[in-house]
Amino acid sequence: MTHVGVTGLGSYLPERRMTAADIAAAADLPEWVVTDKLGIREKRLPGPDDHTNTMGVKAAERALTDAGVAADEVDVVISMNEEHKDYPVWTSGIKLAHDLGAHRAWAYDIGQKCGTSVLALKQARDLIVADPRVNTVLIAGGYRNCDLIDYRDPNVRFLYNLAAGGAAMVVQRGERGHRILDSAFRTDGAFSLDVIVPVGGTRTPLAADNVGDYRLTVPDPAGMKARLDAKSMANFVGVVEDALARSGRTPGDVDHVAMLHMKRSAHDHVLDTLGIPRERSIYLADYGHMGQVDQVLSLQLAAADGRLPAGGLAVLVAAGIGYVWNAICLEWSGE
């Protein structure tokens, strides 16, 4: 079997912060609701130069350095930039590769909202296994959907945690790096219209009189909650169980769960249902939800804290509006 591993990780966090008190004031909420219910102490917001692709480039530079790989060694660049990026109708990965000096690489964009980093890892592994000419894949992207939040809209309260940042991973053929094991994905299109930006597309083009509606909205909050309550937690747990089983592992083998930021009760429910001790995950209360960045940041924090021993097992868990639930397993190297 072809060994494919993650040899480099990188993240970029903007300097600007929004505290729980700031969110509470903007949303006219008690601060305890933000800290205890939404699970946010503070989060990162973009500065004037923190564009989506720019943050991806900065994270990519750090991941390449971590891997000891030069940009011109990269064969393929997978951009996991969020759809809300520097310019609309734009293949951002091509610019990302150019800015890095990855002139040998061909590039493309993928999008699965907050599930994108897990999907990108699977695609990078599959590319290397399928094509002997591909040896090094760079995954990189930024996220700043916090721009699309109206804190005066209580229907999007569960999205008040949206933040900004960038993340990147270098994936290579060979015996080094954190070996990518198997994965699992579930999608359910019944949720496709539950969280949308209602203007700016072909159904309702952007116009002078609707610019204020260019933000994330929830057309049917009660209906969405009822349907998610019936399915979401089961799908979170299910994709982790499936990814572990396909990797020949069990929940008892897991050393770290790199999970997206969501309300604390949901985070703990996933771990408790799987029987994984809560201390084997890091709750990102000091960062907020940076979309596809969360899993990479969580891995870096866990590694820095000594939570991932050589031969240890990490599971990356993601979910994205639309709706998608993803999980992928990594066997941690001793490097």
Give the pLDDT of the chain (335 residues) as one tens digit per residue. Answer: 789 999 999 999 999 999 999 999 999 999 999 999 999 999 999 999 999 999 999 999 999 999 999 999 999 999 999 999 999 999 999 999 999 999 999 999 999 999 999 999 999 999 999 999 999 999 999 999 999 999 999 999 999 999 999 999 999 999 889 999 999 999 999 999 999 999 999 999 999 999 999 999 999 999 999 999 999 999 999 999 999 999 999 999 999 999 999 999 999 999 999 999 999 999 999 999 999 999 999 999 999 999 999 999 999 999 999 999 999 999 999 76
CA distance 214 to 12: 26
CA distances for 273 relative to 198, 233, 268, 279, 295, angstroms: 36, 9, 8, 14, 20
Stated as kind and residue range, the H or E segment containing 275 is none
The token pair at 269 is 């429910």
Q: Is 155 helix (H, G, I), strand (E, B) or coil?
A: helix
| The pLDDT value given to residue 212 | 95
Global pTM value:
0.97
Of all residues in the chain, what percent are helix, strand and coil, respectively (each to 5)? 40, 25, 40
| The pLDDT value given to residue 2 | 86
CA distances for 326 relative to 12, 114, 226, 257, angstroms: 23, 10, 21, 13
The token pair at 331 is 């066997």
Domain 4-176: state its class.
Answer: alpha beta
Query: Is 181-331 in the same CATH topology as 4-176?
Result: yes
| Domain-wise residue ranges, the chain | 4-176, 181-331
Domain 181-331: CATH superfamily is: Thiolase/Chalcone synthase (3.40.47.10)
Q: How many CB atoms lie within 10 A of CB 278?
A: 11
| The pLDDT value given to residue 162 | 98
- Positive or negative, the Cα torsion across 119, 125, 127, 133? positive
